[in-house]
């Protein structure tokens, strides 16, 4: 009889224990991440490397569509990270664009972390901040790697002026980026005005211009950040990009296929990005091929892919759940170190099989 792994035959083996369950608030998340932008970029880049090496599990996201609230959706992103510090988990994030009219954020989220030994969840974290931070860190990393070997962008344009745009600006500045000019465009005048006020108060912005048209913003920017809630392409003229800017296409559905076909196209994960009606997905449908893709950010980081300088470069990240997991685990560890972890006593009650 094979007794490998038997507790009786291995008395020194430590039996798995149910971990205590903690709740980490948004305020705690904010404190854990504030001022750590450079480190979070490193966390994200290391996670991209683990993902590229096949040491993660990142199933397709599941979209909950709501027929009576057509603009809204809630998304589940399960994920698992292997390697030296394994962790499993799930991000559950809602997007309700009509929240903005009530002056509350569009997105809200929680992140569950699961113990890889027992499967028990051990923490629930407020995750809208984690989601924004990992998105901004990914953008800052892409801005670095995809601009190497070319002039660093001096003029940045933000297409969409919400929370994600603010975090991206914060992370770019914290990782050493400076801009002589900052452009802003949003279909909401109040959002554009509010973002301009944020930029002025940050003292990190050069000359600020609120552009009335998308074309003006794009033509006057060397680095364009798309952070909108667009559900389908609304920018379709490749000539707007004839000056070959670097484009961080974070909202994924802004650019028509003709723009992508005239560009270098970098994604975070090919299979994930080419689904759910994203701009790259529409381009694949149009052409019947994935040949328009240049590669992944991990391909660029490892030197497997180089970026031709004679075309616009577009980074279209789907937003991998493993990034939320990695940043969330970092936050959890920071809160533990601070001594401020809030355990929910008796959260797990039925812990004996027979009572």
Mean pLDDT of 322-342: 97
Distance CA 346, CA 338 (A): 23
Beta-strand pair 223-226/246-249:
parallel
From 187, 29, 22, select the one nearest 108 (Cα to Cα): 29
pLDDT tens for 62-76 read: 889 888 888 888 999
pLDDT value of residue 3: 37
Domain 139-319: top CATH class: alpha beta
Fold of 22-130+322-338: ornithine cyclodeaminase, domain 1 (3.30.1780)
Where do the structural domains in the chain lie, given as residue ranges?
22-130+322-338, 139-319
What's the predicted TM-score (pTM) here? 0.90
From 116, 207, 109, 201, select the one nearest 156 (Cα to Cα): 207
Distance CA 117, CA 137 (A): 29
Among 14-28, 221-235, 275-289, the range scoring the smallest mean pLDDT is 14-28
346: pLDDT strictly greater than 80 = yes
pLDDT tens for 115-129 read: 999 999 999 999 999
Among 144-148, 167-171, 200-204, 334-338, the range scoring the smallest mean pLDDT is 200-204
Beta strand residue intervals within the chain, DSSP E: 22-24, 56-57, 62-65, 73-81, 87-95, 107-114, 121-126, 155-159, 181-185, 207-210, 223-226, 246-249, 263-267, 295-296, 312-316
Specify the 3-state DSSP secondary structure of 107: strand
């Amino acid at each position: 009889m094979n007794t490998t792994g038997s507790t009786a035959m291995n008395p020194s083996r430590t039996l798995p224990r149910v971990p205590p369950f903690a709740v980490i608030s948004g305020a705690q998340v904010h404190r854990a991440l504030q001022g750590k932008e450079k480190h979070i970029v490193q966390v994200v880049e290391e996670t991209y490397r683990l993902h590229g090496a096949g040491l993660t599990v990142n199933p397709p996201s599941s979209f909950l569509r709501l027929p009576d609230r057509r603009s809204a959706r809630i998304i589940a992103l399960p994920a698992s990270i292997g390697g030296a510090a394994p962790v499993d988990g799930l991000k559950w994030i809602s997007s309700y664009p009509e929240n903005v009219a009530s002056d509350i954020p569009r997105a809200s989220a929680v992140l569950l972390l699961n113990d890889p030994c027992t499967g028990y969840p051990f923490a629930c974290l407020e995750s809208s901040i984690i989601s924004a931070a990992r998105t901004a860190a990914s953008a800052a990393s892409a801005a670095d790697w995809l601009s190497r070997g070319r002039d660093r962008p001096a003029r940045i344009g933000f297409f969409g002026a919400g929370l994600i745009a603010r975090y991206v600006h914060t992370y770019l500045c914290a990782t050493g980026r400076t801009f002589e000019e900052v452009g802003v465009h949003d279909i909401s005048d109040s959002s554009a005005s509010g973002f301009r006020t944020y930029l002025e108060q940050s003292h990190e912005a050069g000359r600020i211009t609120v552009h009335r048209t998308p074309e003006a913003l794009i033509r006057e920017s060397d680095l364009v950040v798309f952070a909108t809630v667009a559900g389908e392409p609304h920018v379709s003229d490749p000539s707007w990009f004839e000056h070959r800017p670097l484009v961080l296409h974070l909202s994924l559905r802004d650019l028509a296929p003709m723009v992508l076909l005239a560009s270098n196209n970098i994604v975070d994960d090919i299979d994930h990005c080419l689904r759910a009606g994203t701009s790259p997905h529409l381009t694949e449908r149009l052409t019947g091929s994935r040949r328009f893709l240049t590669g992944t950010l991990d391909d660029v980081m490892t030197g497997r892919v180089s970026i031709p300088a004679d075309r616009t470069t577009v980074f279209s990240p789907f937003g991998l759940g493993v990034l939320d997991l990695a940043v969330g685990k970092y936050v959890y560890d920071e809160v533990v170190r601070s001594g401020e972890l809030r355990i929910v006593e008796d959260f797990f009650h039925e812990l004996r099989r027979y009572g």
